Amino acid sequence: MHIRISLLVLGLLVSLVSLSQEPIKPEPEIKSQSMLWKISGNGLTKPSYLFGTWHLLCRNEIIFKNKVKLAISQTEQLMMQNFITYLSDEDYFERIESNEEIQQGLPIYKIDDRKKRKKLLKLINEHLDLKVDLVKRTKYDVKRMTPFEVYFASLHSFIEGCDRLGSFDSLLYNHYAKQSAPIGSLNERKSFLISLQNANFINVDSLTFYLENIESQKAMAMEMKRHYYVDEDLPNLIKQYEIFISNEFTNPELVNKYLLSQDVSTWVDAMQMWIGLKPTFISVNATYLLGDKGVIQTLRSRGFTVEPIY
């Protein structure tokens, strides 16, 4: 009897040792190759949906996949990152006037270095298609624009064959407005513009660099479009975008702080309130979905289940 007990104990010890030697397998990570995410749990009776938009697309490239259309049909209200962004079609000069208190930077004609000034103006003339309303301004002069203004008035020029950028939010707004559905915004346009300014990735030297290397910039814009539509590969999309906007004349810390790593906690506060009332379609730039402090992880930390829809 004593021998049997000893053998039993020995067998248990061997089992425990073998178990302890097995490597601990981490929990499988949820794939992040999707631009559409389902939000459920935490008391929600119906799911809401989080959609990652993209801004470097031509207006004829704004296409909702069937899964996104289905999500839209299952929601009763819309929440966007910004009510109106720099992609809007309103008059350029009225837009500048309404934000005149925002520091836009130094106009090109005030650049002290004459060679830099002439070089930049030459590159702008060669490569950029400025979309500004000239009807009301007969004496309009590009030299009076800042590099910041030039860049965002001509961002479509970095897409081959494009005459104007498109906007997912514009189509979404029109759709929900026709249904008289509630429409909300996660932050104000002014704060959005200030963040862009603080990132300081558009200055005389960086804009000159972008234009001198416009063919490689166009190639990267095409690659990002593939990551967005074909692969729905968020990590590589974000990685490529960081390369696209960065060069030796930009400050990585400022770009990361003000452009790539927005504080989304207040956004999620608003999301939480809205999705608790009705199924909501939430539209946020894809750049802000991932990461420890991104929208997806912040929602999960609040107790919600956030799953990709393939």
Beta-carbon count within 10 A of 121 CB: 16
Residue 58 pLDDT: 92
User: Hunting for tokens 């929990």 — which residue is that?
Assistant: 27
Residue 165 pLDDT: 87
User: Hunting for tokens 């799911």 — which residue is that?
Assistant: 47
Residue 80 pLDDT: 93
* Distance (Å, whole) CA 131 – CA 289: 30
Residue 20 pLDDT: 40
* Distance (Å, whole) CA 165 – CA 155: 7
Residue 96 pLDDT: 52
- DSSP-assigned beta bridge partners for residue 285: 53
Residue 13 pLDDT: 42
* Sequence-separated (6 or more) residues with CB below 8 Å from residue 179: none
Residue 18 pLDDT: 45
Q: What is the DSSP string of 96-150?
A: HHHTTTS-----GGG-S-HHHHHHHHHHHHHH-------TT-TT--GGGS-HHHH
As given in the structure block, the two tokens for residue 157 are: 């020029």
pLDDT in tens, the chain (310 residues): 444 444 444 444 444 444 344 444 443 455 668 999 999 999 999 999 999 999 899 989 999 999 999 999 999 999 998 754 444 444 444 555 555 444 567 889 889 999 999 999 999 989 988 765 545 444 457 888 889 888 888 889 999 999 888 889 989 999 999 999 999 988 877 777 778 888 888 899 999 999 999 999 999 999 999 999 999 999 999 999 999 999 999 999 999 988 888 889 999 999 999 999 999 999 999 999 999 999 999 999 999 999 999 9
Beta-carbon count within 10 A of 134 CB: 11
Residue 31 pLDDT: 63
Residue 267 pLDDT: 94
**Per-domain residue ranges for the chain?**
36-308
Q: What is the DSSP string of 176-244?
A: HHHTT--EEEEE-HHHHHHHHHHHT--SHHHHHHHHHTHHHHHHHHHHHHHIIIII--HHHHHHHHHHH
As given in the structure block, the two tokens for residue 210 are: 């972008």
Q: What is the largest CA-CA distance in the chain?
A: 107
* Sequence-separated (6 or more) residues with CB below 8 Å from residue 182: 76, 77, 78, 176, 274, 278
